Structure 1
Amino acid sequence: MSETTGTTVLRTSVQVDGEPASYLTAGQDGPPVLLLHGTYWSRVWLPVLDQLAGAGLRPIAVDLPGLGRSGGQLTPEAATVPALADWVTRFASALNLSGPVAVAGHDIGGAIAQHLLAFDGLEVSRLALVNSVLYDSWPAPHVARFQDSDTTEGVLAARREAVTRVLAHVGTESLIADYVDPWTDERVRRSWLALAGAADNHYTLDVVPALQRSPAPKLLIWGEDDLHERVEYAERFASEIPHTTLIRIPNADHIPTENAPDRIGRALAGFFTA
């Protein structure tokens, strides 16, 4: 099953663990770039996909299992960073991606991307992080308050509130509704609860030594107005982790791809084609 969502962007799916893994892609035969979301979904990458494809890349923005448009349902055990990194490796295998793969991560997807770079499984050539969780910056309070919840009551309203806040500069009602739509599904809300419950910053703290040893180029792109994944964390990462460049995006919050898609698209394209 596939559908067109933009000028050259296509949503399609592949079977992983017996369930459809939905992803947005653009371009055809260029070097693949895996784009990972966190507490949102693949929609965060849509504004930059055409620009990446225009640079000769093949961007692939996947929805993690049970989230966005993907099938299945996350459990607490399947929602940990290592378990999701293993799932991404199986997703890449299902797409027959061979050789080194460039990876970008947003939010908790950045923790998954860091894990992929640091440990065996998927060979990562370049790593980009966009307002990613780093060190002990997470879980944010609006996610942590659901960690002990056994009901999805309040999840949809909380997600709408979070989306409205982080898209304050650009968030029309139609854009906010587009972002929030997956959580109208009870199955997705339950998967999101599992993701929130499994959020643990020891995964990004424990990976620091391996990141410091890694020779892979690393790019940080940061909306400066993020209240939780603060730019100070990015500054610390850039100072402590070799081969790291930081690009700051003023007047942008947690999803800066919506505030400055052209600038961020150019930066990612330049980084991944260098």
Structure 2
Amino acid sequence: MASKTSEAPGTRQRRTGTSVHYNISYLVQGAEYGTDGAIVLLHDIPAGAFAWEEIMDQLGGLKRAVYAIDMLGFGDSDHPWPADTSVWGQADVLAYLLQDLKLVNVTLVGHGLGGGVAQVLATRLFRKQTRALVLIDSICYTHTFAENWPLTAMAKRQDFDAPQNTSLEDLINDMRSTLPAAVVNRDKFSKLLDTYINPWNNEIGKELLFQQVRNLIPYYLNSVASDLPKTGKPTLIIWGEKDEQTPVKYAERLHREIPNSQLVIIPDAGHYSLFDAGDKVAKAIVDFTNFVNA
């Protein structure tokens, strides 16, 4: 059952809900606006709800409840080990949570890994309650990661014995060298780098991160790819022009194949367009939400 706490209008709170047998933590802003028409934000790997805070600041004018969720194994949510943290596993857990929160006519917004989870929710597990879909630099089709993201030699990182063959020091150094490749504005991102890395900077965190990496299965989204054009749901596709992890060609393919979708390409932004151009990403979401609900 989702937790209930009192809050002053317009404030942002950290709450915890229970889904299946997991505790899932989330930020909620504008809960006083009710459960109809809420916006749900799903983060990338290896981030958490914190990645959306700048965007949330700029969504307040919509006067809608906005939820930024720490997906299973991230942030303040439970970190079970072993667990299914694939896009399907995450979507299964979140469908129960969102249903418990009684959210309807939801706009799902997913970045990277979160975009893959949003696709499963919108086409299968939370289809009836989803009003619209926003995909930001999203994993899609059979593409889930580049060879250098978020660690080098990703295929080897998925080996079962990879945690034992990788020292914690090497893992953290690897993250420090590869994560900044996802942004254009590295000075801004450098201030957040420790926020990304610290949750994994211990032996248990190392095991959990490798579990997340093992569950990045390229073909898991193929089963929903053919359903995206059939949902009939308004869809916005936002992409950093300089995204090297999920190149713009994937945005263009999504746009071609999803009828009446909207495509926004953001110049001078990489995979983490949320940080490179948070104001432009937020404006695109605001404009799209107003369009959908006009």
The answer, yes or no, to whether TM exceeds 0.5 is yes
Task: Give distance in 1, aligned partners of 2:117 and 2:92.
Answer: 9
Contact 1:68/1:188 (<8 A) preserved: no
In structure 1, the residue matched to 2:122 is 117
The CA deviation at 1:10 is: 3.0
Match of 2:56 in 1: 49
**1:28 is matched with which residue?**
31
Amino acid across the alignment from 2:227: A
What is the SS of the residue equivalent to 2:173?
Answer: helix
Partner Cα distance (2:55, 2:207) in 1: 29
1:258 aligned onto 2:275: yes
Equivalent of 2:84, from 72, 78, 87?
Answer: 78
Contact 1:21 1:64 in 2 (8 A): yes
Gaps of 5+ in 2: none
Q: Decide whether the 8 Å contact of 1:65 with 1:74 is kept in 2.
A: no
Q: 1: distance between equivalents of 2:262 and 2:184?
A: 27
Structure 1 unaligned runs (5+)? none
Q: CA deviation at 1:48?
A: 0.5
Change in 2 beyond 3 A, CA 1:155/1:62: farther
Give the root-mean-square deviation of aligned CA atoms: 2.4
C-alpha deviation, 1:8, in angstroms: 4.4
Name the CA shift for 1:42/1:171 in 2 (closer, same or farther; >3 Å).
farther
Tell me how far 1:190 sits from its aligned partner: 2.4
Question: Which of residues 135, 138, 146 is equivalent to 1:132?
Answer: 138
Residue of structure 2 in register with 1:268 after alignment: 285
TM-score, length-scaled by structure 2: 0.83
Question: Match of 1:65, as an amino acid?
Answer: L
Q: Return the match for 1:58 from 62, 65, 78.
A: 65
| Deviation digits for residues 6-29 of structure 1 (CA, Å, limit 9, x no counterpart) | x94433322334443222222223
Q: Which residue of 2 aligns with 1:156?
A: 172
One-letter identity of the residue aligned with 1:169: N
Query: Which is further off, 196-205 or 176-185?
Result: 176-185
Q: Answer yes or no: is the 8 Å Cα contact 1:13–1:22 preserved in 2.
A: yes
Q: Check whether the contact 1:107–1:132 (CA below 8 A) recurs between aligned residues.
A: yes
Structure 1 range deviating more: 251-260 or 98-107: 98-107
- Of 143, 146, 153 in structure 1, the residue corresponding to residue 157 of structure 2 is 146
Structure ranking higher on relative contact order (CA contacts 8 Å, 6+ apart) = 1
Matched residue count: 269
Match of 2:43 in 1: 37
Report Cα offsets for 1:201-253 as digits up to 9, x if no partner. 21222212211111001101101111120011101110111121110111111
Which shows bigger deviation, 154-163 or 212-221? Answer: 154-163
Stretch deviating more after TM superposition (182-191 or 85-94): 182-191
d(CA) in 2 for partners of 1:166 and 1:8?
A: 31
2:237–2:263 CA contact under 8 A, matched in 1: yes
- How has the CA–CA distance of structure 1 residues 165 and 228 changed in structure 2, closer, same or farther, with 3 Å as cutoff? closer
Query: 2:103 is matched with which residue?
Result: 98
Match of 2:69, as an amino acid?
A: V
8 Å contact kept, 2:241–2:248: yes
TM-score by length of 1: 0.88
Following TM superposition, by how much is the alpha carbon of 1:185 offset from its aligned partner in structure 2, in angstroms?
4.4
Q: Residue 202 of structure 1 aligns with which residue?
A: 219
After TM superposition, give the deviation of residue 56 of structure 1 in Å.
1.0
| Cα contact 1:22–1:62 (8 A) shared by 2 | yes
